[in-house]
Structure 1
Amino acid sequence: MSIALMAKRKGSPCQKEDHFEGTKRVKSSVPDLPQEIWHDIHSLLPLRDAARAGCVSHAFLDSWRWHPTLTLNPKTLGLSGQNFINKVDQIMKKHSGIGIGIKSFKLHHYGSRIHASKLNNWLRIAVTPEIHELKLSLPTVGKAQLYNFPCPLLFAGSAGNRIRDLQLANCAFHPVAGLGCLTRLYLSNVHITGDELRCLLSNSFVLEELSLNHCSEIMRLKIPCLLHRFTNLTVFDCRALEIIENEAPNLCTVLIDTDIVHKSIGYSLQVKHLEMFCAVEFNLVHHVRAKLPASMPNLETLSISSAGEMFSTPSVPGKFLLLKHLDICLEVAIGAFSPDYDYFSLAFFLDACPILENFNLDVIQTRMRHDSIFEDSSQLRQMVGHRHDNIKTVKITGFCSAKSMVELTCHIVENATSLECLTLDTIAENGLSDDVRLSMHEIGECPPICRHMIGEAQRALLAMERYIVGKVPSTVKLNIKKPCSWCHAR
């Protein structure tokens, strides 16, 4: 029955007339709907709007208490510290015993610790048979003070049969079984052993995504073959991890760091998207070019971040026959990136990608110690017979006057017959997007760049003008990005 029809039959309760001191006044009222309908309406509102509605109308107050989605963090509540804890405690008590289960519970808190008994009470209320999403992020504390997540709430009751998304941060988690509906598992700074994780994975048959960040007790990660839906794996800063044994047949996307990148991750023939970065291990680009074509032949996108290359990129058999997008980042926090590394050797990498369309090269350093093209009068090297007929866009960030980088750029310009856009950026600002950097420039807050690199940027511009610009075909859009004239002034 529509609201309008109900209003008509009941004499339009939304427009009842009242007399006040000889004048007519329209008296506003909410439609006389069954309580269950108001509960459904308020369940569709964001948590903050539902709470506001409960503040302005007594008729809505009870509906707010039935809201099935709780997102509790300092931003949504506008509180912090002990005031935040007290408010969450009030909210959870109002949801206790109301008869309708919470479907999504997200608690993010930083700062003061929450007593374990209080957290346990909140989770007893939140973890109901209807819950399908549980996210818990607590303040970072020492190992001895970590909150021990009450696993019996998940594995001894019926709630574990409904949870699809489980995300835990800064706690201890010791599962004893699997979760039948779990599709996404995210653990950050969670104390869990490899055996405990294997037990959970082996019995969570519909799992699709696994993300492990700073989980320092896992030495061996085993992903069982029964996980046919498993497609996404992220491993970041798990320092004790020595080996990954993937047996899941449909793993598609991998994001991985630490020295594990130099070892096999098990069955990986179906991997299409790979991101590898390592802050402590050198020669990652060399390793990827030499080893990965055989183990990951179906790669379509590849992103590599290396802290140093002691050897130039090799010319070896094996190709990335399906690779279309290649990102390479050569980054050092302080100092120069491996001055013996030959940027021109990256042409061998491009040659191994016959259908490559997009190539991005970022060089992030605070000094440039390669041989400058202005200090070497020999002829520019060429690589005859190496054509890149499908490359359409190329972007080099942190372009410098190194002779080998100028040679690489000239090689691309002369041999990428389908090139549409070439971007040469003289300043590398740690991965900031063009939009973010432009907005920062407009308010005069450019990230600090050392004087040495500002001077190198000027030499890079001169190298572009002298050796590259004249070779760029008129059909190619050339973007040259200079240091900001006033907030990067020398």
Structure 2
Amino acid sequence: MGLLALRRLMATQPHRRRRRRSDAQAQARNGVITSMAKRKGTLLQGGDSSSQGGKRLRYSGPDLPEDIWRHIHFLVPLRDAARAACISQAFLRSWRHHPNLILTKKTMGLEHKAYRRVGMARDFTSTVHSILKNHSGIGVKRLKLDIIYDHRNLNICYLNNWLQIAITPGIEEITLLLPSKYTFPCSLLSGGNGRSLQYLKLVSCAFRPTASLGFLSSLTKLHLCEVRIKDDELTCLISNSLALKQLELLNCRQIICLKIPCLLEQLSCLNVSLCENLQMIESKAPNLSTFSYISNLVVELSLKQSSQVKTLDIDCYDESNFLCHVITKFPNIVPNLETLTLHSIDERINTPMVASKFLHLKRLEIYFESLDPDKAFPLEYDYLSLVSILDASPVLDTFILCIQQGEMKHDSVFGDASNLRTMPGHKHESLKDVEIIGFCSATSMVELTCHLLENATSLEYITLDTICDVDDLEDIGRCCATNLRKTGECFPLRREMILEAHRGVMAIERYIRGKVPSKVELTVLELCTWCHDLERLDALDKGKLITFPTS
């Protein structure tokens, strides 16, 4: 596509053709630019010509300055830029200063190769070596090198040479997916090489920065994934990166105590995920506003000097009663919180009433999930007890509750609805938008919904979705209604879940719809009538012929 766009641009310029008709047709079929070298205001050079019948054929390009051609060359995809450099002396000169070196299987056309992985690794190595050998190393702004999966046995000397060529003064972005045995040479970022660096992402390697690394004065984003780096080494690195705005750590197992110094006045976003040996996070960054944490346990968290945290997303996927822990501890840890997202897999203690409040919390999302899709959420948990966290959030505007239901084993409202509980005195005057995903016929869920309708005095919208798509919560489409899915069908559900979804709709009609105030808009999302029709599914199980709908 890059060469096609380049040829279209050339076609808009006035020029003469000096090729035979058959040559022009052949060149067009092959998508080749035959001549783009500059001589006295025109691009024609012997190195760009071809011969036929003893005659040298040349191509006269438009009259453009060389710096414009270089800019055009830099804009086309890497593979096309390399091809153009192979047939044009002018583009070969600009290739040696190409700013974007994106060296992956895709950019080099190797992702669809059918031969063995060994052959692909050999071709990848040969191609990268050739590209960098012909590059001057001057002018590189962006480097991406992906050799993490198919090139584990790559000669380290090759890799060292490649990085030495590409990482030069002026580089701004570095993304390296490296073999796990490799130790990134920090000396490459010392001196002038690291001063212009704005983005650094390292995946699957060792990284041992020391004080000799010096200041990375322009670094704003740092992403370390499966990187072997220790506490003091990370502290040394970020302490020399005073412009840092985003820090992301994923599966860095050697980190035990993460300390963010107060020197990082620009740091606004911190993401820490799956660092399984981490025990403490202490941040003194004064302007930290977004914090995301995923782990199998609750770490000791100190954000008192990061009082500006406004967005918090926490998922402790192996921690029981996490919701109870949050409501009792976090109002004092993050007093200015405005958006809170919580993920829990095991709540056996009802959410308690507390005196501490989230005084600024406007958006609350709670996800009750399960590592086992067939496992029901604990029977001990009472959904109505969520009123306590709503009470602790006096300015809450939006509340989203998502329950990943396995087989629903809570007491059903159809068993005994004669004495539905109420909680008078608990008003939620700011709540405007409520969404419950995975709504079922559990008595306590019906009670929670009725409570919100009766006590959220500013409520405008309430959405009750009777299914919960565990694969993609942002795309819960019904194929017959929205056709959002690429597969053309809804996510498959077990028979028990389909039956429970129908019971959820019945509970809405019987116990909830009549309590919806006239000013509140109720939306009920039911099962797809095609993908989850029980008669059709039974027929498919028995091998009967099914006629698809025509519209």
Structures share fold, TM-score greater than 0.5: yes
Give secondary structure in 1 for the equivalent of 2:473: coil
C-alpha change, 1:410 and 1:377, in structure 2 (3 Å) is closer
C-alpha change, 1:263 and 1:13, in structure 2 (3 Å) is closer
Aligned to 1:201: 238
Question: Structure 1 stretch 200-209 or stretch 38-47: which is displaced more?
Answer: 38-47
Q: Pick from 62, 68, 72 the counterpart of residue 103 of structure 2.
A: 72
Q: Distance in 2 between matches of 1:47 and 1:224?
A: 40
Give secondary structure in 2 for the equivalent of 1:255: strand
- TM-score normalized by structure 1? 0.89
- Output the amino acid matched with 2:139: G
- Output the amino acid matched with 1:209: Q
Aligned to 2:133: 93
- TM-score normalized by structure 2? 0.79
Aligned to 2:94: 63
Q: Distance in 1 between matches of 2:19 and 2:283?
A: 77
Q: How many pairs align?
A: 466
Aligned to 1:154: 189
Aligned to 2:9: none
C-alpha change, 1:149 and 1:212, in structure 2 (3 Å) is same
The percentage of counterpart residues that share the same residue type is 49
Alpha-carbon shift at residue 29 of structure 1 (Å)? 2.9
Aligned to 1:469: 513
Give secondary structure in 2 for the equivalent of 1:15: coil
Alpha-carbon shift at residue 445 of structure 1 (Å)? 3.6
Does the 8 Å CA contact 2:102/2:144 hold for their aligned counterparts? yes
RMSD: 2.4
Alpha-carbon shift at residue 57 of structure 1 (Å)? 5.2
Aligned to 2:344: 306
Moved >6 Å (runs of 4+): none
C-alpha change, 1:372 and 1:30, in structure 2 (3 Å) is same
Q: Does 1:453 align with 2:501?
A: no
Aligned to 1:223: 260
Does the 8 Å CA contact 1:47/1:67 hold for their aligned counterparts? no
Aligned to 2:25: none
**Unmatched 5+ stretches in structure 2:** 1-11, 22-57, 112-119, 535-551
Q: Does 1:265 align with 2:302?
A: yes
Aligned to 2:547: none
Q: 1:344-383 to 2 correspondence within 5 Å?
A: 344-383=384-423
Q: Distance in 2 between matches of 1:20 and 1:174?
A: 61
Aligned to 1:434: 475
Q: Does 1:173 align with 2:213?
A: no
Q: 1:189-338 to 2 correspondence within 5 Å?
A: 189-258=226-295, 261=298, 263-267=300-304, 268-334=306-372, 335-338=375-378
Q: Distance in 2 between matches of 1:274 and 1:437?
A: 31
Alpha-carbon shift at residue 457 of structure 1 (Å)? 1.0
Aligned to 1:3: none
Q: Deviations over 1:121-148 (max 9, x none)?
A: 1111110011111011136xxxxx5211
Q: Distance in 2 between matches of 1:69 and 1:19?
A: 34
Does the 8 Å CA contact 1:101/1:126 hold for their aligned counterparts? no
Q: Distance in 1 between matches of 2:454 and 2:87?
A: 69
Alpha-carbon shift at residue 52 of structure 1 (Å)? 5.6
Q: Deviations over 1:443-475 (max 9, x none)?
A: 444333222211211111111111111212233
Q: Pick from 71, 96, 112 the counterpart of residue 151 of structure 2.
A: 112
- Output the amino acid matched with 2:353: S
Aligned to 1:135: 175
**Unmatched 5+ stretches in structure 1:** 1-11, 22-26, 140-144
Q: 1:11-50 to 2 correspondence within 5 Å?
A: 14-16=14-16, 29-48=60-79, 50=81
Alpha-carbon shift at residue 437 of structure 1 (Å)? 6.0
Q: Distance in 1 between matches of 2:510 and 2:399?
A: 23
C-alpha change, 1:226 and 1:304, in structure 2 (3 Å) is same
Q: Distance in 2 between matches of 1:402 and 1:179?
A: 56
Q: Distance in 2 between matches of 1:58 and 1:262?
A: 59
C-alpha change, 1:37 and 1:405, in structure 2 (3 Å) is same
Alpha-carbon shift at residue 53 of structure 1 (Å)? 4.7
Does the 8 Å CA contact 2:263/2:285 hold for their aligned counterparts? yes
C-alpha change, 1:382 and 1:116, in structure 2 (3 Å) is same
